[in-house]
Amino acid sequence: MAMRVEEITSGMESSEMRGLRPKQDARFHRDFDVDLEGDILEAIDSFDDFDPKVRALDLTNNASSDLFLSLAKWCSSSQWRCWEARLFLYVEPSLSNTASKDLDFTSPLIWKEFSDKLSRTDRSSFSESVVLDWMSRREEMGETMEPSEDPMILPTMNSHRSLSESLFLFIQEYRKQDLHLLVGKEYLDSGEWNLGGSPISGINEVLNV
C-alpha cells in the first residue's frame, strides 16, 4: 500500500510483481496471480480523478477497501476455505460459552480462542474430535451412520478428516510464523473483511489519518 498507484498498475499490467509475492505454501491453495492482477487493476480503474503518483494508502474513496483487500490477498502465502456449515462443525466445539446463533466467523476473537485451543492439542486428536462430534450430531438427529444405508457416509467422514487436518496445519503455520489472518467470506463487503484483528475499512481509516 506504500507503493505509488502507477507503480502497482505498471507491475500488475506487466506481471513483473509476481516475483514479489510471498512464496506459496504448497500444502494450500491461494488466489491465482492473473486473477488478482485483474482484481487490483479493476479496483484502481474504479477511482475517479486521482493522481497516479500518490501512494495506494492515500486513496480514500469507497473503492479503497476493494483495493486493500485485493492487495492483502496478493501478499498471502496460503488460503483455507470451506462451507460455513462445515466451519461451524470444526470451530464451534473449541469455543467456550458462545451461543451458536451469535457466531460470527469474521470475528478475530473467535480465531484467537480457536488458535489458542489448537495449540494445546495435535493434528490427529483434533481431526478425530471433529469426526466424533459430527457422528454424535448425526445420531442425535436420528441419522444413520451405516455406510450400507447411506453411501455418502464414508466420503463425508474422509472429507471432514482431511479438511480439519488442513485447518489445523493452517492455524499452526499462522501461529508459528506470527502471520496476520485475513478472514472473510463470499459476498461480504470488502471493508468488512478482517485483517490482523481489524476490519479492512478500519485499517484504511487509520492509514489515512
Q: What secondary structure does DSSP assign to 116-160, as a single string?
A: HHHTTS-HHHHHHHHHHHHHHHHHHTT----TTT-TTHHHHHHHH
pLDDT for 107-122, tens place per residue? 999 999 999 999 999 9
Low-confidence residues in the chain, pLDDT < 50: 205-209
Q: How far apart are the first and last CA of the chain?
A: 15
Q: How confident is the model at residue 156, as a pLDDT?
A: 94
What is the reported pTM?
Answer: 0.86
Q: How confident is the model at residue 45, as a pLDDT?
A: 86
